[in-house]
A = this chain, B = another copy of it.
């Protein structure tokens, strides 16, 4: 089943101990769409500026990504510049230019309105809610990402939007900030009262954890000797996760577990190279081989 994503398509400037790029395609919706398209057709809703060329657009070509919802506005693309620390665990934002993103009002093409799987990447909570309203009926699965900025600045809007989603997918510190609980199990219980019935906590080098009424499922991060650039890892995780579920067309304990694994697989590939470089050349066979490697990494017999 097709999967709708709304979020940013952007240019990034990245510095890590492994190198530096001045301008490369980035944005949560870009990583998400490319990662998810290995599993299911993706409908993309985002905004770009006139500096987003036909050449740039090629990142979506030859994949199951529909870009009718990619609006092109006067002005420049969202631009983010960041620098990672020696061990890639910390980053500083050097520049954020919203540009065309400042006035983004997501508008769903008619054919997107019947999407059954919806991912609301990290944008203003009222825009996320507005996208959900444009979807006909209740989607089979709606998931949402957010960040400290919205938790702090627009808490009421975020609370309202959370009432309408099934899965909240955020990192440890956002989980703790939103719930005001350090312990992740207690945090999950708190968040369940806000609306989502499932919490997926992205924990960077420590992997990811899913909590729902059935219990907890943990998946480690894939051990890599030379991660190059963590940018987009969380969005690629979300893409692999939601893409797998949309492709399976079924949300249950077994598919959620596999979705966690495929999310981790996609996230792990993304960090191997700068920006989207690794996902550009990624093959389905490599995805399945790494998923089997995850089994080796975690499975035991009592």
Contacts and interface: CB of A to CB of B under 8 A. Distances in A.
A195 interface: no
A223 interface: yes
Interface in A164-187: 182-186
A209 interface: yes
A215 B297 CA distance: 8
A221 B211 CA distance: 14
Q: In terms of DSSP, what is the predominant structure of the interface of chain A? A: mixed
What is the oligomeric copy number?
2
Contact of A216 (B86, B89, B297): B297
B302 A299 contact: no
A298 B301 contact: no
A-B residue pairs, 4 tightest by C-beta: A218-B220, A87-B182, A257-B300, A206-B206
A185 B300 contact: no
Interface string A245-266: 0000000001001101100000
A293 to B, nearest CB: 8
Contacts of A86: 182
B185 A258 contact: no
Instruction: Name, among A209, A225, A254, the residue most crowded by chain B CB atoms within 10 Å (CB to CB).
Output: A225
Nearest to A256: B300
14 contacts: A183-B225, A183-B226, A183-B227, A185-B225, A207-B220, A215-B297, A218-B223, A218-B297, A218-B298, A220-B220, A257-B301, A292-B302, A298-B298, A298-B300
Contacts of A260: 300
Contact of A258 (B209, B223, B288, B302): B302
